[in-house]
Amino acid sequence: MHEKLSSIYDNVLRRNPGETEFHQAVREVLESIGPVLGKHPEYAESKIIERICEPERQIIFRVPWTDDRGEVQINRGFRVEFNSALGPYKGGLRFHPSVYLGIVKFLGFEQIFKNGLTGLPIGGGKGGSDFDPKGRSDREVMRFCQSFMTELYRHIGEYTDVPAGDIGVGGREIGYLFGQYKRITNRYESGVITGKGLAYGGAQVRTEATGYGCAFFVDEMLKARGTSFDGRRVAVSGSGNVAVYTIEKIEQLGGRVVACSDSSGYVLDEKGIDLDLLKQIKQVERGRLDVYAERRGDNATFVAGRSVWEVPCEVAMPSATQNEITGRDAAVMVGNGCIAVGEGANMPTTPEGIKVFLEAGVAFGPGKAANAGGVATSALEMQQNASRDSWTFEFSEHRLEEIMRDIHDRCLQTADEYGMPGDYVAGANIDGFRRVADAMLALGLI
């Protein structure tokens, strides 16, 4: 790492003890932007990087609620408003027992550059809670969401901070959160939250956007290498919103997805994942993956407690959670003939894993770029809400596709410009950083 950047990184470590995921996210960006400082001394002079690493505002709050037995439960809520140079803070809410400040800050930090890369007017933020929705009834989830919003509402707004979903927060939770915001504020402020249902101000394609966008991005990486998804064997991790719509689009593009996973294990289905069955089990019944193999019969096997990355594939789409592909997994994948990776999740590959992929010449699409379709379509939802309009599915998907192809091209061009051809990690970090840095420079000392 550049000497100046390494002392900035040491300061980040000192000021944010124990937040390992945040350290990892900062390190990856700082390792990429050394060459930018050579060309732009003004960034260092005005301490842009030090400022970017410090969130503008961090909110931590108590979330009390009662479960179905009448027992009082206490969770912790977070919203980190990281950077508003490009627009209102924008980023999802994650409800998962692993959530603590370090996770929210890593996600918020990544979101700044991801949102910059989309070219749309959105700043970076993220929030969530250590609440675990698994096994909770709809009523419990509603009471939790209402209590969470009863504090959060005072910090957000269409022009201030616009949350959305992430792990554990989907259509059901967004509905309860928006309902409570509307009730407390007495404002039908559609643009305060995205990922809304189509019945009350949501946008076409938002549900599908992260997965579809990631498939478009990888399609473009493959095309840049003179090939395509057609006939390729693909493995996807996860079976939530991102995984499901990644599978859907890859099947439309001619690929064959043979595996997906959840926290209990993975399913191998050589004929290709049956998407209707997967949606029924995961989205309607909220069940586990072993049920998929049971119902699919002889076609599929469920492998309990093992990593999906042992399944040989030509294209890998990690769509579950952070740090799910280790250096060792990556080495196995490369050995099995993997030629492309598209990160649908945020930071699913460890630094060791990324190194293995880049050294092996794998086309590696980092989450900041490859999964930006979700937040980009959120910005399109805000645009439709602001103009009190709603677009067709076809038009919205066309916009998403254009945005993803544009992000792809800019990553490649930027990597070329800095003498690192084909390095999408460097391209994404540098392009995202420059956009935010230039806006911050123009705005004075903020």
Two tokens, residue 335: 């050995």
- The one segment of 265-273, 285-293, 372-380, 384-392 that binds ligand GLU by CB under 6 A: 372-380
Give CA–CA dist 177/149, Å, rounded: 6
Helix (H) or strand (E) holding 166: none
Beta bridge partners of 63: 75
Nearer to ligand GLU, 369 or 440 (CB): 369
Residue 271 marked in a binding site = no
| 114 annotated as belonging to a binding site for a ligand | yes
Annotated binding-site residue? 378 = yes
Q: Is there binding between residue 378 and ligand GLU (CB under 6 A)? A: yes
Q: Is 165 annotated as a binding residue?
A: yes
Who's near 161: CB < 8 A, 6+ residues apart? 79, 81, 88, 89, 90, 125, 155
- Kindly tell me which residue out of 374, 422, 427, 432 binds ligand GLU, with binding defined by CB under 6 A: 374
Tokens of 111: 């979101």
What residue is closest to ligand GLU based on CB? 92
Asked if 180 interacts with ligand GLU (CB under 6 A), we say no
Contact 53, 125 (CB under 8 A): no
Binding string, residues 311-350; x marks residues near ligand GLU by CB under 6 A:
-----------------------------------x----
Residue 145 or 311 having the CB closest to ligand GLU: 145
Q: How many residues bind ligand GLU (CB under 6 A)?
A: 10
Distance CA 160, CA 442 (A): 20
Options 21, 81, 166, 431; binder of ligand GLU; rule CB under 6 A: 166
Active site residue 105: no
Q: Does 25 bind ligand GLU (CB under 6 A)?
A: no
Cβ-contact 263, 240 below 8 angstroms:
no
**Is the Cβ–Cβ distance between 345 and 369 less than 8 Å?**
no
C-beta separation of 102 from 148 below 8 A = no
DSSP string covering 400-432: HHHHHHHHHHHHHHHHHHTT-TT-HHHHHHHHH
Say which of 126, 182, 196, 282 is annotated catalytic: 126
- H helices present in 233-364, as ranges: 241-252, 275-279, 290-296, 327-335, 351-359
Instruction: Give the nearest distance from C-beta 181 to ligand GLU in angstroms.
Output: 15
The two three-digit tokens of residue 200, written as one number: 């009350």
CB of 277 to ligand GLU, least distance (A): 26
Tokens of 185: 């504020």
Distances (CA, A) of 17 to 20, 47, 222, 351: 8, 22, 40, 20
Query: Of 365, 364, 402, which is closest to residue 114 (Cα–Cα)?
Result: 365
Query: By rule CB under 6 A, what string of x and - marks binding of each residue 52-91 to ligand GLU?
Result: --------------------------------------xx
* Structure token pair of residue 139: 């009523």
**Residue found by looking up tokens 């509603």 in the block:** 142
Which member of 16, 147, 150, 194 binds ligand GLU (CB under 6 A)?
194
Contact track, ligand GLU, 146-165, x by CB under 6 A: ------------------x-
Please name which of 57, 65, 60, 36 lies closest in space to residue 48, comparing C-alpha atoms: 36
Does 207 participate in binding ligand GLU (rule CB under 6 A)? Answer: no
Tokens of 158: 């269409």
| DSSP for residue 170 | -
For residue 116, state whether it binds ligand GLU (rule: CB under 6 A): no
Residue number, 147 or 241, with CB nearest to ligand GLU: 241
**48 makes contact with ligand GLU (CB under 6 A):** no
Q: Is 92 in the site for ligand GLU (CB under 6 A)?
A: yes
With respect to ligand GLU, which residue has the nearer C-beta, 90 or 143?
90
Least Cβ distance, residue 290 to ligand GLU (angstroms): 28
Tell me if 428 contacts ligand GLU by CB under 6 A.
no
Q: Which stretch binds ligand GLU (CB under 6 A): 23-31, 217-225, 304-312, 371-379?
A: 371-379
Least distance from ligand GLU to the Cβ atom of residue 107, Å: 7
Kindly state whether residue 196 participates in binding ligand GLU, applying the rule CB under 6 A: no
Written as six digits, the tokens of 75 are 């969770």
Phi and psi at 412, nearest 5°, equal -65, -45
Q: Nearer Cβ to ligand GLU, position 90 or 256? A: 90
The answer to whether 107 touches 126, Cβ cutoff 8 Å, is yes
The backbone torsions φ and ψ at residue 304, rounded to the nearest 5 degrees and listed phi first, read -80, 140
375 binds ligand GLU (CB under 6 A): yes
Least gap, CB of 315 to ligand GLU (angstroms): 21
Does residue 105 bind ligand GLU (CB under 6 A)?
Answer: no
Kindly state the smallest distance separating residue 184's Cβ from ligand GLU, in Å. Answer: 21
Neighbours of 134 (CB within 10 A): 11
Known catalytic residues? Answer: 126
Please give the residue ranges that form the binding site for ligand GLU (CB under 6 A): 90-92, 164, 166, 194, 346, 374-375, 378
Feature table: binding site for substrate:
90, 111, 114, 165, 378
